[in-house]
Amino acid sequence: MQSQKSIIENEYVPISAVVQTEELPTIDLINTFTKGEKQTEEITYYLNWKKSPNELVSFCRAVCKTEIPKKFDFLIDLNDNYGGIEITATITQAIWNGIVPLKFIDSGYKTITVVKFENGIPERLNSLKNINDADFKTRFALCSISNKENVLSELKTYVK
């Protein structure tokens, strides 16, 4: 796994489900996976992190490689006639395959993300189901407002 910036034009991160903090990996699971190697900055940060009210812990199946922290200014909502809402959000953590915190999101992998919303978590995200009950159909995604139309088009084609 190498850290690379996204090479796709329409960079976006789906939000498919909510993950409860008690469902996150423990130090024992991380150590088992990393075979006790020295902890990275990302692992140390994760282990000392406490969730704030403006943070959403979510699940996505990553569609692009991108380094974090990563800022976004639009929340796609496929049930919204306008395509979504403008927001200010930053992905502050990525947990690769739900096990190991990394400094990037890796394309094609199941990833748990911690998303910090500047003005609170948008109410519409309350409709997300828990990871254990989700159907994983994409309704929400974070993207840049400058490419929202392209992302919307791609998602609407994919969801059909």
**Domains of the chain by residue range:** 12-150
Identify the CATH assignment for 12-150 out of 3.40.50, 2.60.40, 1.20.5, 2.40.30: 2.40.30
- Residue 22 to residue 45: CA distance in whole angstroms: 17
Q: Which pLDDT belongs to residue 156?
A: 80
Strand partners for 61? 110
Does residue 147 contact residue 11 with C-beta atoms inside 8 Å?
yes
Residue 139 has pLDDT above 50, yes or no: yes
List, for residues 18-59, the tens digit of each pLDDT value. Answer: 999 999 999 999 999 999 788 899 999 999 999 999 999 999
